[in-house]
Structure 1
Amino acid sequence: MILKIYQTNYHVADLAPRIALFLLIFYWIMPWRFASHYDFLNRKEIVNELVEQVTSNISMQRMAPCDYTDILADNANTYRPQYRDHVLRGEEILQGGEYFPEECSARYSTAIIVPYRKREEQLHAFLIYMHNYLRQQRIHYRIFLVEQYDQKPFNRAKLFNIGSIIAAELEFPCLILHDVDLLPMNLGQLYACTQKPRHMCSALDIFRFTLPYRGLFGGVVAIRTQQYRFINGMSNMFEGWGGEDDDFFNRLYSYKIDICRFEPTYSKYTMIRHKPEKKNEDRLELLRNGYKRFLTDGLNSLVYKEKERRMHSLFTHILVET
């Protein structure tokens, strides 16, 4: 009898790691772990929420305005090999990674700001795909790559601040703050600004195309230049991975600025595989005290040194020391 009890206990103990693994997997895949519901703009609402605003060189064009009805209605799947292999019709892209359609007058001018350091493979894939993708949207856009040149911990938010200043100098009314490892999968996610700041990648493949939590506001974000200035940009204090997006969301909330999202079928993104960044060990403390610095930590406290600005065929390169 004692032997039987011992054997039973032994088998249970042996199964414990497997049971724990099963429970972990069960927790990970269950839908209730994610934000089960969040407000979003459906297709009929999107057009009315988009802000038609362009730079002066586009506003001077005397062509019929571009139409976007078919793009929004079809919401075509664009994550296909023909758009990922090489740049199609590269002669259409102006020096500095700028483009505007020639057959009609674009209604939207957008600066796409990409913070960067030592991600050559991802950058290559990003530039090929995004130029093939964006030109199908019939918008005016320019890609700004803001590269951190020093050996300090990577400061993503600060690079966004720098890019926003340069984009504003060139009259871009809309900013899209874009990680280099994220690619949109459907054409209906127009790279233009809405009345409210927009979280664009709310259906990300690594989260099973489900939003992890309602306050998530990172990865790819669209915000009007004047709104970004109004809230004093992002914090310059977050060095290393994590925290700056939540601080950004808190900053908007403190100014009573709501965010919006397109419906999930328009918001699908895929993430290019990469090594995880080193976490910012001070991020939780910075988040807790962030509200104390909203007025003093941001665009008005930004200090950096621009080492070089160069116009490449696919992007405008801003090399900086932070």
Structure 2
Amino acid sequence: VGQYAGREGRVAYTSPHGLPKVEPETGEAAEAAARRCRWVVGFLRRPKERTRLRANPYGDYPEQACFWVPIPGEFLEVVSGGEVPPGPGGAWGLSEVTQALIRDAEAAAGRPAPEDGEDAGRPEKRGRWQKEEAVMGQEGSSGGAGGVAVVVCFRDLHAEQKRGEHLRQFVPAMESFLQRGVDQGLCPRFKILIVEQSNDGRKFNRGKLLNIGFSLAAQEGFSIFVFHDVDLIPSDDLLPFYCQPPDSGSPVHVARVWDRYSANKDYGGGIVTFSRQDFTAINGYPNNYWGWGGEDDELIRRCKTVWGPKFRMDFPSSGSIRDLEAMDIKQKTDFLRDHKEWKCNTRYELRDEHQATWGSNGLSTLEYDLLARGPLEHVGDQQPYQHTERIHVDCKLNGPGYHDEWAGVDFLPGHLLG
């Protein structure tokens, strides 16, 4: 099914497969209908069927936005109305998640939520918006001024990895890099969040740390989220891919220009950029990949589940990444072979659980304890960086809603905990 639009209690739809179509009215009648029936929310899910989320501000009606919500359900439900009712579920009986997605679709369309007024216009151009519209027109739900949040997962536990040294190089380089974006008018503000896992006896959980950083940054109103490894520093020509929001349904794999993994079209690690709406649509990263490897593959699986099996991330056509680890793919593979205890030993079992658990394993079930939070200080003079925050967290065990039967193999060997 292609698009649905409500009109006077009827449903008009188009389909790429030649299904019947209820012709919409035009002119004043269509505008009046659009004002009365602004929203149509559809749930369509059969066994083993995949749904997609799309925000379409260019439908048949001037003020209509249609999208599919990736929430499991047994039936197709079509509801319409002039505004999102207040309270849990409102008059339509919609969940809070659905109401939030409605408001996200409005933000993606570049206009205020329904309760903010009926006179909002749509962008004058389709596709990638103008720089000012793209950055300032996607304010977060907390009313912030948009901007770029760079979320970095971190733990300096094993001396061989040299993560502390990487952090000391990464932060000043990235603050200077992103400040140029502010100075050039590419983005209004930026923040770097270093989300650090406590010495909890468990392996490193990259996915959950990135989910935590996203959750905290979203509360501050950021609209562009760059999920970043601490050992990668971009070249200056990649700056627009940090400051410009991705098109809806098209997150950007900035690290595709990185030599180590550039040959793998389905690789989604290193550096990826999402809008708030799209990262929410895929339910973020999984929370239960403990150890190296697998969470970036699950990210791609989630994108394909939401946007279709032919999904591919966008990527820059030029640019370069400086790898502070200074390892090629063979050297990295050999390094991990020598440290098998750091790897995720359940990645293939968790892969097989994807279809059953992706909707309940991620942002929707994120649990953690915030241990400490404050500005990251310079080494030596102890002066804090202006735009970097260090966040120390206890990741806790796997949350409710999915399996945890392999948790016993997620713990580090005792001799590594010192």
Alignment check: 8 A CA contact 1:201 1:219 kept: yes
Equivalent positions of 1:65-84 (< 5 A) are: none
How far does the alpha carbon of each residue in 1:263-322 deviate from its partner, in whole angstroms, 9 at most, with x for none? 4313x2121117656211111221122221111111121111110111232211111001
Q: Deviations over 1:243-278 (max 9, x none)?
A: 000101100110116444344313x21211176562
- % identical aligned pairs: 28
The alignment partner of 1:201 has SS state of: helix
Give the distance between the partners of 1:262 and 1:297, measured in 2 at CA. Answer: 27
In structure 2, the residue matched to 1:73 is none
In structure 1, the residue matched to 2:268 is 217
- 3-state SS in 2 of match to 1:52: helix
Residue 356 of structure 2 corresponds to residue 292 of structure 1: yes
- 1:171-218 per-position Cα deviation (integer Å, ceiling 9, x unaligned): 1111110000111123344213211211001111335xxx22211111
- Letter in structure 2 aligned against 1:169: Q
Counterpart contact for 1:199–1:259, Cα < 8 Å: no
Of residues 195, 200, 205 in structure 1, which corresponds to 2:259?
205
RMSD: 2.7
Alignment partner of 2:180 out of 117, 136, 145: 136
- Tell me the TM-score normalised to structure 2 length: 0.50
- Unaligned runs of 5+ residues in structure 1 are 1-44, 61-105
1:153 partner amino acid: K
Distance 1:47 1:186, change over 3 A: farther
- CA–CA distance in structure 2, aligned partners of residues 120 and 114 of structure 1: 13
Q: Which residue of 2 aligns with 1:234?
A: 285
Structure with the larger helix share: 1
Tell me which stretches of 4 or more aligned residues in structure 1 moved more than 3 Å.
45-51, 54-57, 257-260, 274-277
Post-superposition offset of 1:113 = 0.3
Give the C-alpha shift of residue 56 in structure 1. 6.3
2: CA distance, partners of 1:295 / 1:111: 24
- 2:284 matches 1:246: no
- Residue 135 of structure 1 and its aligned partner are, at CA, apart by 1.5
Change in 2 beyond 3 A, CA 1:49/1:281: farther
- Pair 1:160 & 2:224 matched: no
1:318 and 2:391 correspond: yes
Match of residue 235 from structure 2: 185
In structure 2, relative to structure 1, the CA distance for the partners of 1:186 and 1:289 (3 Å cut) is same
Residue 307 of structure 2 aligns to a residue in which SS? coil
Give the residue type in structure 2 aligned to 1:133: F
Q: Which has the higher contact order (CA 8 A, sep 6+)?
A: 1
What SS does the aligned partner of 2:286 have? Answer: coil
Q: Deviations over 1:83-134 (max 9, x none)?
A: xxxxxxxxxxxxxxxxxxxxxxx9x611100000002100001012111212
CA distance in structure 2 between the partners assigned to 1:310 and 1:188 by the alignment? 28
* Count of residue pairs the alignment pairs up: 227
Question: Quick one: distance in 2 between partners of 1:123 and 1:320?
Answer: 17
Aligned to 1:145: 194
Which whole-Å deviations, capped at 9, do the CAs of 1:8-39 have from their partners, x for residues lacking one?
xxxxxxxxxxxxxxxxxxxxxxxxxxxxxxxx
Output the amino acid matched with 1:223.
F
Aligned to 1:14: none
Structure 2 residue aligned with 1:35: none
Task: Find out whether 1:53 has 2:135 as its counterpart.
Answer: yes
Contact residue 202 and residue 264 of structure 1 kept, 8 A:
no
